[in-house]
Amino acid sequence: MTFTLPPGLALQKVDERIMTLNVGPQHPGSGHMRIIVQIDGDYIVACDPDPGYVHRGEEKMAEYRNYITNIPHLERPVIHDSCNVLYPYVLGAEELLGIEVPERAKYVRVIASELNRCIYIMYWLAIYGIFLGHSTMFMWPAGDRELLIDLMEKMTGARVTHAHFVPGGVRNDLPPNFEDVCLRQVNYFEKRIKEYAAVFYDNPILISRTRDTGVLSRQDAIRYGTTGSVLRASGVDYDLRVKEPYDVYDELDVHTNVMKEGDSYARSRIPWLDMIESCNIIRQALQKMPKSGSVRVKLKPNPKTKGLESVYKRVESGRGSLGCYIVSDGKVEPYRVKLSVPSFRNLIALPNLLKGEKLGNMPSVYWSLNYWPVEADR
Amino acid sequence: MSVIAPQFKLSEFIKSLLDNIFWIILILVLIGIPAVFMILFAMEMPVIDGELLTPFLALTWLADPSRILPVVKAFMSTDIFRVMAFPGFGFAALLAAATIFVERKMLAKLQLRVGPFYCGKFEGILQLMGDGLKLISKEIIIPAKADKPIFWAAPVLFVATAAAFVAFIPVAPGWVVADVEMGLLGVFAVIGFFPIITILSAWSANSKFPFIGGIRALFQMVSFEIPLILSLLGAVMLTGSLNLSEIAASQSSFPWIVFLPIGAIVFFITMLAELERIPFDLPEAESEIVAGWLTELSGMMYGLVQLGTYLKLYAFAGLFVVIFLGGWNGPMVVPPFPAELLTEGIHMGPIVAGPFPGLPLFDQEMLNGTLWFVLKTVAVIFFILLPRGVFPRIRVDMLLNLGWTKLIGLAFVNIFIALGLLYAGVLGPGGLQ
Amino acid sequence: MGTATGIIRALNSGIKHIATKRFTLRYPEEKLKFVGDGYQFDPSTGVGIAGLKGRHMLFHDHCTGCQLCSIACEGVAEAIAMVKVPEEQKQNKKSIMPQIDYGKCVFCGLCVDACPFYALYMTNDYELSSFSKEGLIYTPAQLQVKPYVAQDSEIQISDRGATHG
Amino acid sequence: MSTETENPPAAAKPEVKTPPKPAPKKPEAPPVELPAFEKSISDKIIEKFGDKIEVGFVKEDRVRINVGRENVHEVAEFIRDGLNYDHVESVSGVDYPQDNEIEVVYHIGSYSESSLARQILVLATRAQRETNPIPGNDATKLPTLRDVFYSVEFHEREVFEMFGVYFEGHPDNRRLLLPEDWADLPPLRKDFAIKGR
C-alpha cells in the first residue's frame, strides 16, 4: 500500500541531526541581535546573523536636523564611545562648513577620544569576561571604568552621553586642575589594567580556551573588510591614527599593536594593549597641549554649506575605523548622513568564523569581533 | 501623601495580620501537634524518677522544667533527629547557607565590590533568607509542552538525592545517619543518580537549551565519575575498608593526603566538575545555553535545585575531609564537661540554678570531632569557591579530554602509589599504623 | 609546567585582591563631588564652563523670552515649552519663559549654549525622580530655585587601591 | 540611458575645486594644482576607461569616480586588480528625486598597499528610480560588486532594504535591519517622511 503525496505537499526531508538554535535577542549571550545557529552535535554548521533589533534610523533623523542639533542623537549608537562615534561627523561638518579648529581644542578632543576609547574597551572587556564565565573579569573592568568616567564627567559634564564635540572645537574648556587629576587617575588605571594579565590574559585556562578558535587569516581579514582590533589581530598593521592622522595625532607618538595569530585570543588581547597605548597617548597629549587658548570657534546660528558637496571622514574608534559620509546641498540640514560603522563591517566575518566551530566557542568568537549591536543597527 | 499605597487602611492591615495568625495557629494545631506526638510515639522515652515516661505524659515538661533535658536527650538519640537535624539535613543546610553567604562576600571582596550589604544589619547576612522568600513567592511557570510529572519531580528528586548523599558523611565518631559497611559504594551509587535526574529534568522541559545543558551535564558527570571513583580507591586500599567511619578513624595519626596527594588533587578536580562549578560549569554556561538545564525552572523549583547543589557541595567537601584530611581527627581542644553541673548546678551568689540531671547533651569527643570536621570542611569549601573568582569556563572537548585522559591516568598513578606503599610495608599491617 | 605556574599565579592574584580596598560608591549615602556649580555658557566668548549637566536653573531677571532655548531643543528632545509667567519683568515683554519636561530632556545642554543672556544654566542636581509624569515638568518658578546638593565623595587613590572617600 | 547616468547634473562636480573653499590643505592659488598622487590614480583610471567614467573630484586623499551602471562592475574589477584596492568601507545610497535617480556610493580603501593606506576611492554609480517602488521587482537595479569585493555583502543588503536598489547577482538579497513585515516605502528615500517633520 503505497501512498504518495502530491509533489507540493511532500514533506521536506530534514536532516534530524541538525538543530536550529536562536541565540538572541533575549539570550544572555547575544546582545541586541539574533544569531541563528545550526548545530550538528556540538559543531556549528551554519550561522546567520540577524541584526536590526535596535535600528533607530539615525541616518534618516540626521536629514531633518541641522548640523548642531544632530550631535546629541548621532552619539546614541554607541553611548559608551560617544566621542569617537561623533568624531567623523564633526570632522566632516567642519570641512563642509569651512571651520578651522583651535589648537587646544584639537588636543582636548584627542584626550576625550582616547579616554572614551578606554571606557569602551573596558565595557567590551567586561562583557567578554562574563561571556567566558569569568565573573571577576566582569566586575573589575566595570569598576575601574569608573576612574575614566569620572574624568569624562569632570571634562564634559555627563557620564556617558557627552555631546562634547561640536563643529568648531569642543563645548567647554577643561576644568581647573584637570591635568593633574587626569594624570593621576590614568596612571592608576594603567596600573590596574596591567593587573588583569595574571587573572585573565595569562591565565592558562583562558589561553587554551581561546587559542586557535575562530581563526581569521590575513587574506580573509582584508577580503572581508574587517577593521580595528580584528584586523590588527590578523597581522595587518593598520591604524588610522597612524595612517591617516586627524587632528593632532600626527604630532603624537602612536604605536600600533599587531598580532599575527588572528584567533579569538589575539583579538581579545589587542584591545587591552590598545588601552595601555591610549594611556601613553593621553600622557603625551597632556604634556604637549597648549596651556591656554580658545577651544571653540564661534559659529553663526544655523550654519549652511556651499552647494552640493560630499565629504567622507573617518577616525579610529574603539572598534576600528569609523567613517562618516556627509552629502550637503547647501541647506541648513545635511542632505544625507551615512555612518560606516566598524561593527557592521566586522559582522561580515561572523558567519565565516563560526562555521565549523564548537558551540562553546560561539560567545568568545562573537564578542571578540569587537562588535556592538546597537552601532551596527544605527 | 500616600502615593505608593493609596488604598492603605490601618484596619485592613490589622485584619490581615490577625488572619495570618489565625491560619498559623490552625495549621500548627492540625499538623504540628500530631507530628510532635508521632515523634514522641516513635522514640524511646527516658526513665524519670524510676518510671518510664509515656508520650502522654511527655508534655508534663511544661510544668516540670527538669524533665526537658531527658526528653531532648532521648529525642536526640532517635534516627529522626539524625536524619533531620544534626549529622543530616539540618546541619548540612546550615553549612550550605553559610557557604552561600561566604561565597557571596568573598567573591565580592575579590572583585572589589561590596556584595550583599543591606539585608540584615550586618553585611547582608539575611540576604539568603530574602532570596528564599522571593523564590517561594514567585510564580512557578511550567512550559506548555513539558512532561509535567517528571518536570515537577526532578527538583525534588535532586534535593532528595543530595540529602541521601549527606546521610553517608560521618561528622563525629558515631554520628552518622547511615553507617553502612559499604559506605563508599553507597556514595558512588548516589552520585550516579545525579546525571539521571539532570537529563530527566532537561528532557522533560521539552526545550532546546535545557536539552543541550542536560546532555552536557550527562557527559560531564559520567566522564568524571570514573576518575572520581578511581581516585578514592587508593585510600580504600590503605584502609582496607569501605566504611567511611572506619576510613576516617584510620587516619588518627596522619591524614591520607600526606601519602596520596595525587589522588587528592584528582578528586578535587573531579569534585569541581561534579558540582558544576566554574571552571566546569558547562551545563549552566550562561552565555552559550542561557542557564543550561535550569533554564525552564522557575520559582521554588529553581530554589530547590540550588539547595540541592549546595547540599551536594557540602557533602563532597565532607567526603574529601573524611577520605583525605582525616575526618574528625584532631587535637583535643574542647574542654571537658564540668561534672559539678550534674551534682550541684551553677552557684551565682545567692542564686542556684540546677542541678541539671540530663546533661551533658553531647560528649566531649563528639564536640571536638565536629569542630575539627567543620573547620576542615570550611577550608575545603573555601578552595572550592576560590576558582570561581579567577578562572573562566572551559569547553566541552577540553573537559572530556581532561577527564578521560589525564585524570584517569593520574588516578592510576595514585593507585600504584598506594599499592607500592602497601607492599613495601610502609603502611598497612606491620607498617606505620 | 607553564600551566601549573599560570594557575598558581591566577589564584595568587585572586587571593591578593581579597585584601584590596573596595571601590564601590554607596550611592544614597555617598554622592560624587562634581567640578563647579554645573554646566554654564559664556555667550561673549562662545565657550562653555565645565560642570555637570544636571537640572537647569533659570534666572528670571535675565530671561527675555526669546525662545532660542526652545528652538535649540526642537531638533533634540522637544522638552522645552514656552509658558506664560504671572510676574512681569522689564526685559521680558511677552512674559514667557521656558518650562522643561525632564521626561524628555536628554541633558545635552544645547539650550544653555543657545541662551545669549546668561539666563539658563545647569546645576549639579541630578535626582529628578517623580511618581508621575506631571511631576517631571518643571515650571519656570520651580526652575528658579537653586537646588541643594550635598556631594562630597571623591575618588582617592592609595597603595591599597582606589576608593570613593 | 547611459548618457543620462553618466552626466548626472547634480553630482557632476567640476574637476577643479572652486578656490574660495577654505580647505585645511595648502592654499591653492592656481586652480589646476591638484594633489599629485591622487591625480595619478585618477589618471590611471581615465587612461584605462576613457569616456566611460568621469572623475568627480580629486581632493587630498579622496578621488571620486562616477560610472554608469553598466560599467561599474568592470571598473571595480580594475580598481581591485589594477590599483590594489582591496576592500569596501561603506556603501551608501543617496536619493535624488529631482533627477529620478538613486546614487550608490562605494568607498573603497586598501589595507595591503601601504601607499594607499590613507586613500579612499569613491566609486559612484546611479540607478533608475521608480516613483512607486516594488523593491526587487522594478527597474531600480544595479549589478552587484559582491564577487569583486566580498566586503560589500551586508552593505548591499542594507542599501537594498533602505533604498530598494536590487543588486543583481547578489547571493543573499534578504532584509537585514528592517522588520520582516515592513511594507512601506524604503525608508531612506526622500519621499518617506518622518511623521511630524
Chains that touch B (3 or more CB pairs under 8 A): A, C
More confident residue, B56 or C57: C57
* pLDDT value at D135 more than 80: no
Please tell me the predicted confidence (pLDDT) of residue D5: 40
- Give the residue-averaged pLDDT of D78-103: 85
Nearest Cα residue in chain A from B279: A133
pLDDT per position as a tens digit, A242-262? 888 888 888 888 888 888 888
Residues with Cβ within 8 Å of residue A15, at least 6 apart in sequence:
none
In total, how many domains does chain C have? Answer: 1
**Cβ contact, residue pair A348, D117, below 8 Å:** no
Residue pair D126/D65 in contact by the 8 Å Cβ criterion: no
Q: Given this model, what pLDDT does residue A13 score?
A: 52
> Is pLDDT at D197 greater than 70 in this prediction?
no
What is the percent of chain D where pLDDT is above 90? Answer: 0
Q: Which amino acid is at B168?
A: F
Tell me which long-range contacts D125-128 makes (C-beta under 8 A, separation of at least 24): D125/D5, D125/D66, D125/D67, D125/D68, D125/D69, D125/D72, D126/D5, D126/D8, D126/D66, D126/D68, D126/D69, D126/D96, D126/D99, D126/D101, D126/D102, D127/D69, D127/D101, D127/D102, D127/D103, D127/D165, D128/D100, D128/D101, D128/D102
Contacts of B112 in chain C (CB under 8 A): 17, 20-24, 161
Query: A-D interface: how many C-beta pairs under 8 angstroms?
Result: 101
CB nearest to C11's CB, from B3, B113, B390: B390
Strand partners, A329: A308
Q: Give the homologous superfamily in CATH for domain A57-343.
A: Cytochrome-c3 Hydrogenase, chain B (1.10.645.10)
- What mean pLDDT do residues B236-252 have? 81
State which residue of chain C sits closest to A175, comparing Cα positions. Answer: C50
Best residue of B211, B391, B399 to probe chain A, by most A CBs closer than 10 Å:
B391
Confirm if D77 and D119 have CB atoms less than 8 A apart: no
With cut-offs at 50, 70 and 90, classify the pLDDT of residue B431.
Answer: low
Instruction: Measure in Å the smallest separation between the Cα of A378 and chain B Cα atoms.
Output: 24
CB contact under 8 A, B393 and A133: yes
Res. A4: pLDDT tops 80: no
- Name the range with the highest mean pLDDT among A235-239, B44-48, B425-429: A235-239
Quick check: A221 pLDDT over 60?
A: yes
Q: What is the pLDDT of residues A36-57, one digit of tens each?
A: 888 887 888 888 888 888 888 8
Q: Quick one: pLDDT at residue B21?
A: 94
Contact A51 D94 (CB under 8 A): no
CATH 3.30.460.80 fits D32-168, yes or no: yes
ipTM: 0.81
- Over residues A266-286, mean pLDDT: 89
Out of A81-85, B352-356, D192-196, the most confident range is: A81-85
Confidence grade of residue B18 (pLDDT, cut at 50, 70, 90): very high
Measured distance CA(B298)–CA(B276) in Å, rounded: 19
Cβ-based contacts of B391 with chain A (< 8 Å): 134, 203, 205
Q: Considering only residues B352 and D169, tell me which one the structure prediction assigns the higher pLDDT.
A: D169
Share of chain B above pLDDT 90, in %: 4
Region of B112 please: left (phi>0), alpha (psi -120 to 50) or beta: left
Task: Tell me how far apart the alpha carbons of residues B116 and B100 are, in angstroms, rounded to a whole number.
Answer: 11
pLDDT, tens digit (0-9, with 9 covering 90-100), for A7-18? 444 444 556 777
**Dihedral angle computed from the Cα positions of residues A141, A144, A145 and A150, in that order, rounded to the nearest 10 degrees:** 170
Q: What are the DSSP calls for A106-123, one per residue?
A: HHHHHHHHHHHHHHHHHH
Is the pLDDT assigned to residue D9 strictly greater than 50? Answer: no
Q: C-chain residues within 8 Å CB-CB of B117?
A: 26
pLDDT (average), residues B27-54: 78
Question: Using one digit for the tens of pLDDT, what is the confidence trace for B370-391?
Answer: 888 888 888 898 888 888 888 8
Residue D22 has pLDDT above 60, yes or no: no
pLDDT of B17: 92
User: pLDDT band at residue D126, thresholds of 50, 70 and 90?
Assistant: confident
pLDDT, tens only, A152-210:
888 888 888 888 888 888 888 888 888 888 888 888 888 888 888 888 888 888 888 88
Look at D136 and B309; give whichever has higher pLDDT. B309
Give the CA distances from residue C152 to residues A110, C24, C35, in Å, rounded to whole numbers and listed in that order.
30, 15, 11
**Stretch (H or E) spanning D59:** strand D53-59
Determine whether the interchain pair B394/A136 forms a contact, defined as Cβ–Cβ distance below 8 Å: no
Residue B26 is predicted with a pLDDT of 93
Predicted structure pTM score:
0.85
Closest to D155 measured CA to CA, from D94, D106, D111, D120: D106
- What distance in Å separates the CA atoms of residue A8 and residue B268, rounded to the nearest whole number? 59
pLDDT of B24: 93
Q: Which of D72, A166, A140, C37 is nearest to B110 (CA)?
A: A140
Q: Is the pLDDT of residue A1 over 50?
A: no
Q: Using 50, 70 and 90 to split pLDDT, how confident is the model at B27? A: very high
The verdict on a CB contact (< 8 Å) between C107 and A161 is: yes
- The size of the A-C interface in CB pairs under 8 A is 114
Calculate the alpha carbon distances from A115 to A280, A317, A318 in Å: 11, 11, 10
pLDDT < 70 stretches in chain C: 1
Span of B75-79, B424-428, D54-58 with lowest mean pLDDT: B424-428
Scanning B240-260, the segments in alpha helix (DSSP H) are 244-249
What contacts B26, CB < 8 A, 6 or more positions away?
none
Question: What is the arithmetic mean of pLDDT over A235-244?
Answer: 86
Show Cβ contacts of residue B77 under 8 Å, excluding neighbours closer than 6 positions. Answer: B43, B44
- The mean pLDDT value for A214-228 works out to 86
Specify the pLDDT at position D52: 78
Q: Do the Cβ atoms of C21 and B112 come within 8 Å?
A: yes
Q: For cell 562555521, what's the residue?
A: A355
Distance of CA B45 to the CA centre of its chain: 29
pLDDT of A332 > 60? The answer is yes
Domain CATH code at residue C152: 3.30.70.3270
Residues of chain A in contact with residue C106, where contact means CB-CB under 8 angstroms, are 72, 161
**What three-state secondary structure class fits B13?**
helix
Closest CA relative to residue B314, chosen from B168, B99, B128? B99
In the structure, what pLDDT confidence band is assigned to residue B355 with cuts at 50, 70 and 90?
A: low
The per-residue pLDDT of chain B, averaged, comes to: 82
Q: What is the mean pLDDT of chain A?
A: 84
Note the pLDDT of residue D4.
41
Residue, of D188 and D20, whose pLDDT is higher: D188
Most confident of A308-317, B172-181, D20-29: A308-317
Whether the predicted pLDDT of B42 surpasses 80: no
Q: Name the region of A296 (left: φ>0; alpha: ψ -120 to 50; beta: rest).
A: beta
pLDDT higher than threshold 80 for residue B54 = no
Asked if the model's pLDDT at residue B261 lies above 90, the reply is no
Among the partner-chain residues D117, D150, D177, the one whose CB lies closest to the CB of A52 is D177
Which residue segment(s) compose the domain that C44 sits in?
Answer: 24-164
